[in-house]
């Protein structure tokens, strides 16, 4: 139901960076999850959840299973705090999509690097495995992200660099996100980049933004660019997924 560019013999790399609220508590609006699953070429894709940003907490994992089980897919999860698979690379590569949950991005990336998961995820991405997630699972793929991993004011942090520029999630739901990101961009403290409201997502193909989509009528995505001593914010055309 959600067409993507024609697949050539070269595998396309895909990332869906979600601003937040992709799996609401009542499971009443799973349009972004449906869209994420549609990006794989499989009718019954194998999808893995990584919840390291929340220390593999039960709540995030259970919500993942509750949400993804509404669709034709084979859900699983990767534990990094208990009985982690011995051959982590093979485990990652056997999936069609990887979904990363939210939480503390800095701690998550530290754990990933300890296990060389960052290397394995890059290899999976290059082989056509669809990557995505919300909040920490959004900013981690960019060169830089706006994070609340450290107590106090929001800060900029280096991430994996699969996508160029910076990213800010929760653009409409957390009062300090928008002004802080704009100030960071204007002051050159973070690279130009993109932001997404809760319920909105940015779909990248081969490292370039293909489209912005949303599960809520008013949820939007934005591009921010530094111009002189200020940040220029431009709302991106955002497709409301219910209109199809």
How many angstroms separate the CA atoms of 89 and 24, rounded?
Answer: 31
Cα angle value 74/118/23 (rounded, 5°): 40
The two beta strands, 200-205 and 14-18, are antiparallel
Tokens of 177: 């996100």
| Catalytic hit among 77, 95, 120, 135 | 135
How many angstroms separate the CA atoms of 117 and 135, rounded?
Answer: 19
| Catalytic hit among 77, 95, 120, 170 | 170
Name which of 197, 209, 199, 211 is nearest 242 in CA terms.
199
170 given a catalytic annotation: yes
How many angstroms separate the CA atoms of 104 and 136, rounded?
Answer: 7
Cα angle value 174/55/24 (rounded, 5°): 45
How many angstroms separate the CA atoms of 175 and 82, rounded?
Answer: 36
Task: Let me know: does 182 contact 224? Beta carbons within 8 Å.
Answer: yes
Name which of 28, 17, 49 is nearest 159 in CA terms.
17
8 given a catalytic annotation: no
Q: Look up tokens 């949820």; give the residue.
A: 219
Active site residues: 135, 170
């Amino acid at each position: 139901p959600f067409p993507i560019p024609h697949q050539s013999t070269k595998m396309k790399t895909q990332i869906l960076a979600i601003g937040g609220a992709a799996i609401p508590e009542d499971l009443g609006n799973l349009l972004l999850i449906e869209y994420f699953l549609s990006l794989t070429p499989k009718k019954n894709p194998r999808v893995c959840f990584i919840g390291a940003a929340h220390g593999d907490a039960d709540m995030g994992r259970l919500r993942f299973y509750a949400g993804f089980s509404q669709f034709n897919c084979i859900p699983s999860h990767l534990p990094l705090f208990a009985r982690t698979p011995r051959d982590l690379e093979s485990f990652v590569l056997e999936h069609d999509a990887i979904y990363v949950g939210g939480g503390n991005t800095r701690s998550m990336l530290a754990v990933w690097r300890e296990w060389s998961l960052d290397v394995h995820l890059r290899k999976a991405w290059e082989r056509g495995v669809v990557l995505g997630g919300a909040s920490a699972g959004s900013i981690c793929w960019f060169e830089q992200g706006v994070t609340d991993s450290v107590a106090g004011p929001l800060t900029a942090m280096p991430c994996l660099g699969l996508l160029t520029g910076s990213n800010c999630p929760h653009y409409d739901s957390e009062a300090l996100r928008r002004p802080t990101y704009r100030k960071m961009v204007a002051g050159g403290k973070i690279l130009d980049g993109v932001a997404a409201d809760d319920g909105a997502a940015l779909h990248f193909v081969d490292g370039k933004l293909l489209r912005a989509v949303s599960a809520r009528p008013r949820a939007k995505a934005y591009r921010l660019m530094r111009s002189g001593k200020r940040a220029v914010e431009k709302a991106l055309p955002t497709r409301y997924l219910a209109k199809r």
